[in-house]
A = this chain, B = another copy of it.
C-alpha cells in the first residue's frame, strides 16, 4: 500500500485556497491534514504532520509562512505574489542550511500557460517575425497583461542571445497604436472583450510559414493541475525554484 503525502493549505478560505482544498481532497495520493485561514496558528502545521505546505495567502504573510515551514522541515509550494529580490535572497540563505528542503514559488500555476511561454521563447530564435496578442475580459485594468509582458521579455532575450535581427516592418503611415505596444521590442496587442477570461497567442512568422502558440484560460480550475504537480514534485527539487517550468520536462523524447 502506498503512503499518502500529508499536505496543508494556508489561505484555505480564499478563492484559490478553497479550490486547492477541493483538489487535494480529491487526489487519491494526497492527504489534506490541515486547511488554515488567516487567524489559525501555524503550529497546527506541525501537529498535523504536514510534509508539504501550500501557501495561497497574501503578500504580507507569505514570507513568514514559508520561513516557518522550512524551519520545521516542510517543503513549500507558493502561489502568493509579493516575493521581492530581498525576500528571495533571505529564503535562499535559509534553505542553504536545510539542503534537502524544497520550495517552489510560481507566479503562474496554469501548466498550459507555462508551457506556451516556454515554447514561444524557444521558437522565437528561429523566425523573422514575432508578435503577441493577449485577450482578456473588459474589467481588467492593466494592458498588456503581466504574462504577455513576461513572455515578450523572454522572447526578446532569446532573440538577442541568438543574434536574431529585429523583425521586418515597413510601416510608414500609421494610426497611433495600430502596431501595438512594444515590450523589449516585441509588439504586444491587448484585446478586451466581454465573455473572455484570459487568453494569449504568440504568432511567429518566417518565409512561407507561421507558427501559432495559443493558451486559453477559462477558469481558476486551470491552476490546480499545476499546484498538484508542485506538491508531488517539490521533495525532488531541493532548494529554491522560481517558476513552474523548473519542474517541467520541456523536451520530448527518450529519458535516461
Residues of A within 8 A of B (CB): 110-113, 115-116, 118-119, 121-123, 125-129, 131, 133, 135, 138-144, 154, 158, 161, 167-183, 187-197, 203-225, 229, 248-253, 255
Contact = CB atoms under 8 A, between A and B. Distances in A.
B205 A209 contact: no
Contacts of A116: 211
Contacts of A127: 111-112, 194
Contacts of A214: 210-214
Contacts of A248: 126
Nearest to A112: B211
A205 B179 contact: no
Contacts of A143: 171, 173-175, 178-179
Chain A binding site: helix, strand, loop or mixed by DSSP?
A: mixed
A252 B251 CA distance: 10
A208 B113 CA distance: 12
Q: How many copies does the complex hold?
A: 4
A225 B177 contact: no
A209 B213 contact: no
Nearest to A125: B249
A189 B178 contact: yes
Contact of A111 (B191, B193, B209): B209
17 contacts: A111-B127, A111-B206, A115-B211, A122-B251, A138-B170, A141-B170, A141-B173, A143-B174, A143-B178, A167-B194, A171-B190, A175-B183, A177-B177, A178-B180, A196-B210, A208-B218, A209-B215
